[in-house]
Amino acid sequence: MRGPRPTPRSSRARVRGATVAAFVALAPLLPAAAVAVGTLKVDAVLPYVCTLPSGQQPATVRITAAFPERAAVGEEIRPTDVTTTVELPAAAVTDLTALRAATVRAETRLTVGVAQNGQRTETAWSGTAQPVGVPAEGSLALATTGDVPSLTTDTAGDLTLTAGALAVDLALSTADGAATVPASLSGTCVPGQDAEGRTVLATVPVGAATGEPSAPPTRPSRPSPSSPAPLPPSFPADRTAPAKPGTANGTDAAPKTPDAGQQAGRGLTATDEDAPGTPAPRPDAPPCRTENPTPMSLSAYITGYSNVRKLGGANLIPLTCTLIEQGQAEFVVKPDGSMHVVTPAEGRLSHQGRKQTPPFKATFLTFDFVPVTATLVLEQTGPMSIDSDVLLIFPTNILTTYVRVPLTLRVLDVEVNGTRLDVGPSCRTQKPLSSPEPDPAAHPGDHLVLLGKGSQTVPDPPVGYILTGGGPLTGEVTIPAFKGCGAGGENLDRLLTASISGPGNHVRQIQGSTCSVGVEAPPMDFCTEDLQPRQVPKPER
């Protein structure tokens, strides 16, 4: 007697099984919280009416963003991948060509209404764009991106976000790079009549999912500095606790070999560091705290060296806190049949609440004999993207990570042979540092590009660079010309440009292991008790 024949597995089932197996094998390579809540994608195309010098003109506004599909009460809701694209009609472009404008740089501010359980407030999504050419005729599309505020609420219920008025500022330049007269135009756009009922961008459920007991609604309370604010939301989310009196950069100025009590005060284990299973105390490091972390939040320290080719030397990139928000890992089969696991992330430098490195000194010999010491800061001027790609080639998987970030080099102070040279308060590079970009169509504009390479031979642990484990990142950077340098009528732009600016400057950055800030029980081998990164990397040339 024959039993039932097994049903053959479909090719889709086999692919799904292979995908699951790949993710299991790649567990050490994927983000610590890659199984977090799903993503709600927003792509809204709306008719607007813009008031411009030529009068009221119709325009099309496209808004794209990503939100979590659901959030817990008190959890930070952070919009990501936000882009606002304004398509101006031909009549508006005529306003620009009449001023002899050859290029235009746009800044936008979108008013977004936030409503929950009858309460309403507003926030603003600001964005900037790289300069684009003004066409001789036809329409002009301007796409802006930038960091936007996050939201928190202590009440359960649907949180609805609605597109409102849009302010557009246009900085204009002629073909020879000079400013037009006037140098800028501004306009205000509002949703058109045809947009009625279509302006809702997203609705994010807050609280327990359907069928689960929801927390009872609470009355809005006055936000305190140590807790997430209810509606109205707390903006922005990238706050850093101020330094306490009597401390250096907010950390206790403890001796190099602190006792147990001092270790506990610094978020370290208050036991003998030689005891079995006890993590070693973290070396001295600047604060690196994540306010209102999500399950996808990571933090890590970076440091390294950057050559200054013209001066034949290298300057130390100081130990800097980096706060990272991971995206969702995605399994991708490319046209050539290769299988990849692709994971995006966003990051930002953090020093005393600002997106920059701590100030650092660099000393060089100009003209081969004159010692020059400069105090410098690298300032982040736009989003930092971190794109990790794992090529699945059994048994060895190849890891490639690109870090892209626009950075401006600012000069705070200069001494020439021991004599202070007043560079004024606004001395910096004219534009961000730039690197050769392997995919300029997808990543336009000036920015630093760093590459990390790693591999994993199953079942061995990975080697080289991975986002969660850290490692070396390398790149090459061009230092632009300087502007705004000098005081008292003395212009030092050309001096600094001639001494420092130029291509071919090698960068080698070392990232430490990340602390999974937002998970319920982060491993103490990688996190201190107050959820700061434990590993402090050392720079390598």
Supply the mean pLDDT for the chain.
78
- In whole angstroms, what separates CA 530 from the centre of its chain? 23
C-alpha–C-alpha distance, residues 448 and 474, integer Å: 10
Residue 158 φ then ψ, to 5°: -65, 135
- The pLDDT assigned to 3 comes to 35
- The burial class, CB within 10 Å (0-12 / 13-18 / 19+), for 304 is buried
Q: What is the DSSP string of 278-312?
A: PPPPPPS------SS--TTEEEEEEEEEEEEGGGT
Instruction: Find the mean pLDDT for residues 408-433.
Output: 89
Residue 186: pLDDT band with limits 50, 70, 90: confident
C-alpha–C-alpha distance, residues 134 and 142, integer Å: 10
Task: Output 152 or 343, whichever has higher pLDDT.
Answer: 343
Residue 29: pLDDT band with limits 50, 70, 90: low
Of 18-32, 201-215, 469-483, highest mean pLDDT: 469-483
Query: What pLDDT, in 10s, does the model give residues 90-123?
Result: 888 888 888 889 999 998 989 999 999 888 888 8
- Residues 6+ away with beta carbon under 8 Å from 334: 340
In this predicted structure, the answer to whether residue 354 has a pLDDT above a threshold of 70 is yes
Residue 110 CB neighbour total at 10 angstroms: 24
Query: What pLDDT, in 10s, does the model give residues 263-322?
Result: 222 222 223 333 344 566 788 899 999 988 998 999 999 999 987 776 666 788 899 999
- The pLDDT assigned to 232 comes to 31
Cα separations in angstroms, 430 against 69, 349, 354, 446:
41, 21, 20, 11
- The pLDDT assigned to 85 comes to 94
Residue 259: pLDDT band with limits 50, 70, 90: very low
The strand pairing partners of 407, in sequence order, are 380
- The pLDDT assigned to 119 comes to 85
Q: Which amino acid is at 473?
A: L
pTM > 0.85:
no
**Rg of the chain, C-alpha, whole Å:** 26
In this predicted structure, the answer to whether residue 471 has a pLDDT above a threshold of 70 is yes
Domain boundaries, the chain: 39-206, 285-516
- The pLDDT assigned to 236 comes to 29
With beta carbons less than 8 A apart as the criterion, state whether 184 and 168 touch.
no
Cα separations in angstroms, 429 against 375, 377, 389, 416, 493:
14, 11, 32, 20, 9
C-alpha–C-alpha distance, residues 215 and 154, integer Å: 10
Of 10-24, 204-218, 304-318, 457-471, highest mean pLDDT: 457-471
Kindly indicate whether the domain formed by 39-206 is annotated with CATH number 2.60.40: yes
Question: What is the 3-state composition of the chain as percent helix, strand, coil, each rounded to the nearest 5?
Answer: 10, 45, 45
Residue 159: pLDDT band with limits 50, 70, 90: very high
Residue 497: pLDDT band with limits 50, 70, 90: confident
Residue 256: pLDDT band with limits 50, 70, 90: very low
Rounded to 5°, angle at Cα 356 from 307 and 470: 65
Cα separations in angstroms, 371 against 178, 301, 363, 366, 394:
37, 30, 7, 6, 54
In this predicted structure, the answer to whether residue 197 has a pLDDT above a threshold of 70 is yes
Cα separations in angstroms, 13 against 4, 90, 335:
20, 51, 20
